[in-house]
């Protein structure tokens, strides 16, 4: 792709451009696998945080086919709908079905959902599970919605400012105003406790959103992620969906 197709982002944010979504997913899987191998070689273990939803499925399937010592990898989620893993909207269920198969089934999966009646009821137990994962996370792979949300940090949710603070809560229960299901989400402080953050996006609509956020629209939560310099951020973009 030509330079004209580059996203208009702050200079401290890296970006790779791709002609189509399948090429992006394969390249993202290669990059994440290489980072996990490096972490295993340096520290004996690796940690990976992924996002749910439908958009990451090709990437998750591709990553699950990459060769590495999956038994030394711990996987968790950036956010979760408060549903059992057999529910079709469960992020855990999607990760188990699309990533943690074959050799990748040897990875240690740390769920956010713990079976309690609500995310608030499960907050303490979920915090304890996440505290067992060594920080910083080696790789965090996020997504971005058309409203500029990432993880389950949506515009208009209660305590939005706290969740977008680098000194805010690492984990929070929340109910998005326009999305189904109560959620558990990592706050920005936990997401930035990472060696690398990768953000894949596709399509003209999301290009417009991320460039608007880069220009300083603070109504878009992703603007805070773009502005920070605590954790290196790299965007993978293709113009088609």
pLDDT value at 1 more than 50: no
pLDDT value of residue 2: 40
**What is the Cα–Cα distance from 123 to 121, expressed in whole angstroms?**
6
Query: Within 13 A of 117's CA, how many CA atoms are on the CB side?
Result: 1
For the residues 58-67, what does the mean pLDDT come to?
A: 97
| pLDDT tens column, 3-42 | 458 999 999 999 999 999 999 999 999 999 999 999 999 9
Cβ contacts of 157 within 8 Å, gap of 6 or more: 163, 174, 175, 176, 177
As a whole number of Å, the end-to-end CA separation of the chain is 16
Decide which of 3 and 91 is more confident.
91
**What is the Cα–Cα distance from 198 to 222, expressed in whole angstroms?**
13
CATH level 3 topology of 14-238: Rossmann fold (3.40.50)
pLDDT value of residue 3: 42
For the residues 70-83, what does the mean pLDDT come to?
A: 98
Backbone angles phi, psi at 87, to 5 degrees: -80, 140
As a whole number, the mean pLDDT across the chain is 95
For the residues 35-53, what does the mean pLDDT come to?
A: 96
pLDDT value of residue 4: 55
| Residue in 214, 196, 151, 146 with CA at minimum distance from that of residue 7 | 214
């Amino acid at each position: 792709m030509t330079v004209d197709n580059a996203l208009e982002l702050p200079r401290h944010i890296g970006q790779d451009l791709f002609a189509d979504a399948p090429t992006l997913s394969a390249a993202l899987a290669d990059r994440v696998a290489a980072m996990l191998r490096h972490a295993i070689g340096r520290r004996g273990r690796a940690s990976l945080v992924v996002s749910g939803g439908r958009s990451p499925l090709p990437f998750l399937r591709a990553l699950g086919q990459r060769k590495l010592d999956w038994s030394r990898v711990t996987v968790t989620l950036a956010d979760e709908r408060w549903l059992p893993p057999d529910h079709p909207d469960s992020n855990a269920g999607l990760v188990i079905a699309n990533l943690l198969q074959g050799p990748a089934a040897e990875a240690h999966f740390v769920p956010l959902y713990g079976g309690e009646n609500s995310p608030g009821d499960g907050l303490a137990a979920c915090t304890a599970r996440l505290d067992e994962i060594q920080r910083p996370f080696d790789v965090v792979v996020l997504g971005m919605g058309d409203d500029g949300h990432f993880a389950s940090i949506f515009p208009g949710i209660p305590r939005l400012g706290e969740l977008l603070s680098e000194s805010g809560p690492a984990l929070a229960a929340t109910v998005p105003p326009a999305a189904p299901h109560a959620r558990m989400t990592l706050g920005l402080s936990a997401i930035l406790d990472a060696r690398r953050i990768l953000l894949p996006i596709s399509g003209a609509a999301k290009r417009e959103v991320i460039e608007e956020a880069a220009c300083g629209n603070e109504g878009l939560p992703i603007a805070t992620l773009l502005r920070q310099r605590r954790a290196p951020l790299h965007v993978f973009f293709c113009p088609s969906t």
